[in-house]
Amino acid sequence: MAALMSSAARLLIVLSALALLSAGCTHSAATSSDPLPTISPDDFTALIDASDVPIVVNIWASWCGPCRSEAPLLREAVAAYGSRIRFIGVDVNDTQVGAASFIAQYELDVEQYFDPRSSISTALRSTGVPHTFFFAPGGELRFAQHGIIDERTLAVQIDDLLR
């Protein structure tokens, strides 16, 4: 019994050390960046309607686990198609500190707007986070994915937008 306890204690110590090490390795809050700008829902929809390139809008929040899971996919999409598609992030019901930390951690170097009262997501008829919208030039909504978007769906929808 004593040997079992000793093994369990050793395992606990190793796991705790790993957890601490891992926490130390993750990017912590990079709060020194500028706060995200806000935009009115009317201006936002006008921006989409006036665009002559396709737009992908991702509604997200730093407290949303699924958003964290799809963020690296969006970063890859931006890296691959950022020159031909305008990617826009809308951070809803969040804090500026949380937003800055999330953007820094996932290196989401795209146009971002802060939407603390979900007014933009309401205008887009978004019902939760994450939600990703694909707009053709001129503002026609081609596809919307509620929930985590997977790599294949994202790639196919981007391919559709570029045709």
Partner 1 sequence: MEFTLLAAALLGIALAFATLRIERARGVTDRRDLVDIIIGASVIGLAVGRVGAMTVQGTSPFTHPLDLFFVRGGVDTGFASLGSLGYLIWTARHDFWPTVDLIAPAALAGLAGWHAGCVFRGSCAGTVTTLPWGIRDGAIARHPVELYAALLLLAGAIALVFWRQRLHLGVVASLALTIASGARLVTEPLRLGLGSSPAPWYVAGVVVGVAGVMIRAISARSRNITGS
Instruction: Please report, as ranges, the residues that interact with partner 1 according to CB under 8 A.
Output: 18-19, 22-23, 25-27, 65-66, 68-73, 76-77, 80, 105-106, 147-156, 159-160, 163
Minimum CB separation from partner 1 for residue 98, in Å? 14
- Min dist CB 149 to partner 1, Å, is 8
Q: How far is the CB of 67 from partner 1 (least distance, A)?
A: 10
Of 64 and 120, CB closest to partner 1? 64
State the Cα–Cα distance between residues 115 and 121, nearest whole angstrom: 8
For partner 1, which is the closer residue by CB, 120 or 149? Answer: 149
Name the residue nearer to partner 1 (CB basis): 20 or 53: 20
Sign (positive/negative) of CA torsion 101, 158, 83, 90?
A: negative
Q: What is the DSSP letter of 7?
A: H
Cα distance between residue 84 and residue 134, in whole Å = 13
Rg (CA), the chain: 19
Burial of 74 (0-12, 13-18, 19+ CB in 10 A): buried
Strand, coil or helix: what is 15? helix
- Residue 49 C-beta: closest distance to partner 1, Å: 21
By beta-carbon proximity to partner 1, the closer residue of 7 and 16 is 16
C-beta of 110 vs 155, nearer to partner 1 = 155
Q: Is 16 exposed, middle or buried (0-12, 13-18, 19+ CB in 10 A)?
A: exposed
Minimal distance in Å, beta carbon 37 to partner 1? 25
